[in-house]
Chain A
Amino acid sequence: MLEVDGLEAAYGAFPALAGVTLRVGAGEIVALLGPNGAGKTTLIRCIAGLLPPRAGAVRWQGRSLAGAAPHAVVERGIAIVPEGRRLFGSMTVEEHLDLGAFAPRARPERARRREQVYAVFPMLRERRRQVVRALSGGQQQMVAIARALMAVPRLLALDEPSLGLAPRVVDSILAVLGEINRTAGVSILLVEQNVHAALALAHRGYVLESGRVAGEGTAAALLADPHVRQAYLGPLAARA
């Protein structure tokens, strides 16, 4: 469904992606791992249409996304949950859900969709009239995911949804992602620092280092890979 081929991107003279190739298939959960500064967020920004790549291509359902503005990317079925959530602080939960269904494709379905989203996150229904600034970090992350789901995506790309959240909250959010994937068949591209949790959820994964794909494979293969264990799961895991 999503094909990234030889993608190169840079911020000014500073290269961030040096030829990244990866795939996300229909109904697949793909984890994108790697240290800070590896280019994970840059890749998401390229897919979202916020950063034009220097070279290479992003194709979605067989068609290039080159030159597509971010809102056009959403309209074509890719929803992004950006790093740091990026909510509209002065708006209510309800307003976020309404804006989430801004794309013309999602607009007619928004009432039904909202009920589905509230079924996934019952807490958001209770707090629907609250301004999001008043919510906890975990609740805000739920709003960010709910806003993206309102766009009726075929692919959900999440940039570090667990950042700054308590482990228990992370577990419940990742569980919800698995449920969305199973029940709605939404493909998921998950950027995560929490390698254990990400690989427990994902079918496959890629390891990004210095703007290049340094490893790829099934979740089980990556978990068993000595380099991955050494670099991302700590020395204890490497010895075990």
Chain B
Amino acid sequence: MTAVLLQQLVLGVLIGGLYGLAAAGLSLVFGVLKVLNVAHGELIMLGGYGAFWLFALAGVDPFAALGIVVPAAVVLGALLYHGLFAWVVRAHAETRIKNSLLIGFGLGLALHAAAVLAFTADERSVTTEYGGRVLDVAGISVPVVRLASLVLALGITGALHLLLARWKWGRAIRATAEDWEAAAMTGIDVRRAYLLAFAIGTGLAGAAGTLVSVGYSISPSIGLEWTLKALIVVVLAGLGSMLGTFVGGLVLGVAEAVSATVFGGPYREVVGLLIFFLVLVARPQGLFSR
């Protein structure tokens, strides 16, 4: 039992890193634009297909594909912002959240249907020649690809943290998240901050999707599940700290692994919702939000 639990804990941490990365993009967009992009999971799905087709058609290594998928996702994010969300952010806060839900669900459905048409509903995954390698650490097996994904997810989150802390527009994005009127009166073009935050958030979805396609599997219908995981992590971690969000992802991954091992597989999906509920009741600002 202990060995099984340990094994599951390791797998939980490995998937948790991807939960954290998936949530970072959602958190950035929600924190800055006050818009809940429920199509975030579909953007992750698209990122996954980007990496899958780059591998299948051009033989691009999935980790190297990050260098293509992420910039492409950033551009897609900028287009989606200009085409859809720029209209939403003009509204007041409550109208904004309602309209963003409608637009997000619509976008999610459209992307889902388009992916079924273009890619079929089959489950896919990038199978590299090194994909099956497993490290054996004291009797616990660690899939190499998933370990690399965890390290990359942490690296990307760290880079995002530095970007928000040091870059001129990174600070502007944080200021806009805290108080957009004060940011505007300080001389910041807040619409530009919104655009950048949305584009970066979509880039993060692209990165998460790429990593999902290589260590796990993708299909057109994974979007909602990933949106839900990301949302649970955002609620768990709170807004404002990307590293906190990453840790929140690890917590969810571990909690899922433990409950699946102790109570049985079906409970994997229950624990996240339980966490969602408990955090909202006990600490609505999230665990890591000051």
Q: How far is the CA of A102 from the CA of B191 in the complex (A)?
A: 15
Is the pair B175, A74 in contact by a Cβ cutoff of 8 Å? no
Q: Say which size band chain A's interface belongs to.
A: 20 to 34
A89-116 residues at the B interface, CB under 8 angstroms: 89-91, 95, 98-103, 106
Separation in Å of the B188 CB from the closest CB of chain A? 5
Which residue of chain A has the shortest Cβ distance to B192 in the bound complex?
Answer: A71
Separation in Å of the A74 CB from the closest CB of chain B? 4
Partner of A50, one of B171, B175, B184: B184
Does A216 make an interface contact (CB < 8 A)? no
Q: How far is the CA of A91 from the CA of B190 in the complex (A)?
A: 18
Is the pair A151, B178 in contact by a Cβ cutoff of 8 Å? no
Separation in Å of the A55 CB from the closest CB of chain B? 22
Partner of A82, one of B182, B187, B191: B182
- Given A69-B184, A74-B185, A74-B186, are A98 and B171 neighbors across the interface (CB < 8 Å)? yes
Q: Which residues of A contact B179 (CB under 8 A)?
A: 86, 88
Is the pair A88, B178 in contact by a Cβ cutoff of 8 Å? yes
Separation in Å of the A75 CB from the closest CB of chain B? 7
Is the pair B182, A87 in contact by a Cβ cutoff of 8 Å? yes
Is the pair B186, A50 in contact by a Cβ cutoff of 8 Å? no
* Interface hub of B171, B184, B185, B240 (most chain A Cβ within 10 A): B185
Q: Say which size band chain B's interface belongs to.
A: 20 to 34
Is the pair A71, B187 in contact by a Cβ cutoff of 8 Å? yes
Is the pair A71, B182 in contact by a Cβ cutoff of 8 Å? no
Is the pair A91, B187 in contact by a Cβ cutoff of 8 Å? no
Separation in Å of the B281 CB from the closest CB of chain A? 25
Partner of B184, one of A71, A79, A89, A95: A71
Question: What are the 5 A-B residue pairs with the smallest beta carbon separation, nearest first?
Answer: A70-B184, A74-B187, A86-B182, A103-B187, A102-B187
In the assembled complex, 30 residue pairs joining A and B whose CB atoms fall closer than 8 Å, in A order, are: A48-B185, A50-B181, A50-B185, A69-B184, A69-B189, A69-B191, A70-B181, A70-B190, A71-B184, A71-B189, A74-B187, A75-B187, A79-B185, A80-B185, A82-B185, A86-B179, A87-B182, A89-B178, A90-B290, A91-B171, A91-B174, A98-B171, A99-B171, A99-B175, A99-B186, A99-B187, A102-B172, A102-B188, A103-B187, A151-B186
